[in-house]
Amino acid sequence: MPRMASRLRPPVRRSGARVRDEVGPAAAAVSTGVLLVTVAGSLPDYPVSSFELGLPTWLIAIGLLAGLAMVTTAWVVSTLRPSVSVGLTVATVGLFVPAWAGWTTLPGVAQALVLAVAPIAIAGVSHVGLRWSEAGRSPVTLGAIYVLAAGAAVVHAVGYDPLTDPGCASTCAAVRPFAAALLSSRMAYALATALTSAAAIVAVISLVRDGARDRFGVVVWAALLAVVVLAVPWIAHVVTWTDVPSLVAVVLPDVVAGLLIGIAPLVAVAATRRVRLEVRELVEHLTSAGTAASGGGSPIPGVAFAIPDEDRWVDSSGTELGSADVPARAVVVSDPAGPALRLDVAQGADAGAVLATLTPATMLALQNARLAAVSLARLGDVRASQRRIVDASDAERQRIERDLHDGAQQRLVSASFQLSLARNRMNDGSEALTRAEASLREALARLRDLGHGIFPATITAEGLAAALEDLAGMSRVPTTLDVQALGLDRDVAVAAYAVVATALASVRPDAGPSSADIAAAVRDGSLELRVRLAGTAGPVQDDLVDVADRVGAVGGRLLIEPFDDGVVLTAEMPCV
């Protein structure tokens, strides 16, 4: 069994999209503001600010880069995935606002508050990872992460006094928490760490579940890594309370997390754009050329279309695909009536990315291609049935012919011999005997016309040209023949023969001067047959219908047009 992603409707914008359209840019603006304020607020003290003093320039540069990446990404995805912009903004706040604690201009309470914002970063990062998919998950998980992170922030804000934290840098001096009396700093920090870790664990579990589905790739894994990177220092500090970590060790995880969550979505967007371009190419290819399969290396090597209410898949030309054509990996898109499309997904390609590219416009084009493919398939069915009907009637005709040959004809021939014998024996030239012989000959001639298979073995044995020569030879009017057609399918040759036979049979020399000109040639993979009949109105309707059925059964068409005092029959039949 091929592995197929769950049946998904194509992503459709919900009706609340108008409001959501404004959420993304607003969030992106907020994150931009946070970054600008951070840079602007730090400038007056730089490079002598006690906070920045311990930081090497390269780390500050990378931190700035991470911030720029996050803000840029927030803007890039703001219209398509506003929720991701919101997540990035929350992460920006959680990662950059604590840096404000170094500003000497801030009052102590504010310094404590900005420092307490740090746990929020985990929620923001998880938000990005979990909301990358538009399909969306239950908001409960994300809500839980936010509640836990906010709890950690509150506990941190009210209970943590850096002054009593041996691990805190000297700059923490001025920070004064609200509830220092209730909780020791270590207790407050441990509680905040517990809540932060809980948030991180919930986030990791959900992200692993998403990541394991192989749907949203790089962003999910980046968020997962960022969450872990952010959570580990909390736990480490609780455990090694008295160690004084270097400022680099404190800041580096934040910078790494920022880079991960800032850059991963950009990478994913670029990859998605590539897939989208390829899908568009594929769709254009499908809808114009009518053949499946795009170039090698495409994430979607092929598309199959389901015939409604049947367990059949066809390609875009309507050709049925066998079980050997079922790809190892595929995405099935269903409509309310059942499976509609199957997009083959190349090994190593991201099925989620493929699915994400199915915009309404692409879907419309694919549905269009499906309609065409289904019509072609149905037409093929009708042709096949037409062929079977023609074959069955031919078989019946041959059976009757054989019956006539083996039965009535042989008896009549034998009777004519006996009559001849009788005449010889009696040595009698009586008129009655002569009349009997004449009517017997007439009966045989009629029977021969009736029974002679209208499709002689000559067609198969020696080709259409030879068979048409015989027909022309039997014609009752002057007939010219120009046949340039070799190696035709038997069905096509028989249909062509039937056209000529019917046309010639309709010409009556007694009705005035008449003639027939027959031309047949193969052009562009199609047999073109023209029979020009002068001095006749052409075959009667019933005969024409019979012949047109034959021509139609091989996928061709028959035209009859008036021409001077006669008609031209034109048959075009594909013969490759």
Partner 1 sequence: MRVVIADDVMLVRSGLARLLEDAGVQVVGEAGDVDGLLALVARQQPDVAIVDIRMPPTHSDEGLVAARRIRDEHRSTAVVLLSQYVEPRYAQRLLADQPGGLGYLLKERVSNIAVLVDALRRVTEGECVIDPTIVAQLMRSRRPDSPLERLTDREREILALMAEGRSNAGVARELGISERTVEAASAVVFQKLDLEPSPDVNRRVLAVLTLLRR
Applying CB under 8 A, the residues found at the interface with partner 1 are: 402, 405-406, 409-411, 413-414, 416-421, 424-425, 437, 440-441, 444-445, 448, 452, 456-458, 461-462, 466-467, 469-470, 472-475, 479-481
Give the span between the Cα atoms of 466 and 400, in whole angstroms.
25
Count of Cβ atoms closer than 10 Å to residue 261 Cβ: 33
What is the closest distance, in whole angstroms, from the C-beta atom of residue 326 to partner 1 in the complex? 43
Q: Name the DSSP class of 102.
A: G
Q: For residues 388 and 441, which CB has a smaller minimum distance to partner 1 in the complex?
A: 441
**H or E segment and range at residue 561:** strand 557-563
What is the closest distance, in whole angstroms, from the C-beta atom of residue 421 to partner 1 in the complex? 5
Q: For residues 9 and 452, which CB has a smaller minimum distance to partner 1 in the complex?
A: 452
As a residue count, the chain comes to 576
In 393-525, beta strands by DSSP E: 479-484, 515-523
Q: For residues 416 and 570, which CB has a smaller minimum distance to partner 1 in the complex?
A: 416
Structure tokens at 266: 């950009």
Give the span between the Cα atoms of 93 and 320, in whole angstroms.
56
Return all residues near 349 (Cβ < 8 A) that are at least 6 apart. Answer: 275, 299, 300, 329
What is the closest distance, in whole angstroms, from the C-beta atom of residue 408 to partner 1 in the complex? 11
139-159 helix and 108-116 helix, angle to the nearest 10 degrees: 150
Give the span between the Cα atoms of 18 and 190, in whole angstroms.
43
What is the closest distance, in whole angstroms, from the C-beta atom of residue 463 to partner 1 in the complex? 11
What is the closest distance, in whole angstroms, from the C-beta atom of residue 403 to partner 1 in the complex? 12
What is the closest distance, in whole angstroms, from the C-beta atom of residue 392 to partner 1 in the complex? 21
Give the span between the Cα atoms of 358 and 563, in whole angstroms.
54
Task: Estimate to the nearest angstrom the gap between the alpha carbon of 133 and the chain centroid.
Answer: 19
What is the closest distance, in whole angstroms, from the C-beta atom of residue 372 to partner 1 in the complex? 45
Q: For residues 274 and 448, which CB has a smaller minimum distance to partner 1 in the complex?
A: 448
Count of Cβ atoms closer than 10 Å to residue 270 Cβ: 11
Q: For residues 394 and 470, which CB has a smaller minimum distance to partner 1 in the complex?
A: 470
Report the greatest alpha carbon distance in the chain. Answer: 151
Return all residues near 497 (Cβ < 8 A) that are at least 6 apart. Answer: 455, 459, 464, 467, 468, 471
In 3D space, the residue among 343, 326, 325 whose CA is nearest the CA of residue 334 turns out to be 343
Q: For residues 246 and 439, which CB has a smaller minimum distance to partner 1 in the complex?
A: 439
What is the closest distance, in whole angstroms, from the C-beta atom of residue 418 to partner 1 in the complex? 6
Return all residues near 135 (Cβ < 8 A) that are at least 6 apart. Answer: 8, 11
In degrees and rounded to multiples of 5, residue 527 shows phi and psi of: -85, 120
What is the closest distance, in whole angstroms, from the C-beta atom of residue 482 to partner 1 in the complex? 10
In degrees and rounded to multiples of 5, residue 425 shows phi and psi of: -65, -45
Q: For residues 41 and 456, which CB has a smaller minimum distance to partner 1 in the complex?
A: 456
In 3D space, the residue among 66, 389, 407, 81 whose CA is nearest the CA of residue 253 turns out to be 66
What is the closest distance, in whole angstroms, from the C-beta atom of residue 406 to partner 1 in the complex? 7
Rounded CA Rg of the chain: 43
What is the closest distance, in whole angstroms, from the C-beta atom of residue 319 to partner 1 in the complex? 35
The CA-atom distances, in angstroms, between 163 and each of 98, 109, 410 are 16, 13, 125
Q: For residues 214 and 437, which CB has a smaller minimum distance to partner 1 in the complex?
A: 437
Q: Name beta bridge partners: 519.
A: 482, 530
Residue at 315: amino acid letter: D
* 3-state class (DSSP) for residue 132: coil
**H or E segment and range at residue 332:** strand 329-335
Q: For residues 393 and 434, which CB has a smaller minimum distance to partner 1 in the complex?
A: 434
Give the span between the Cα atoms of 386 and 400, in whole angstroms.
21
Q: For residues 252 and 481, which CB has a smaller minimum distance to partner 1 in the complex?
A: 481
Q: Are 66 and 6 in contact (CB under 8 A)?
A: no
What is the closest distance, in whole angstroms, from the C-beta atom of residue 412 to partner 1 in the complex? 8
What is the closest distance, in whole angstroms, from the C-beta atom of residue 436 to partner 1 in the complex? 11
Q: For residues 134 and 470, which CB has a smaller minimum distance to partner 1 in the complex?
A: 470
The CA-atom distances, in angstroms, between 564 and each of 475, 489, 500, 508, 537 are 21, 33, 20, 17, 11
Q: For residues 220 and 483, which CB has a smaller minimum distance to partner 1 in the complex?
A: 483
Q: For residues 59 and 472, which CB has a smaller minimum distance to partner 1 in the complex?
A: 472
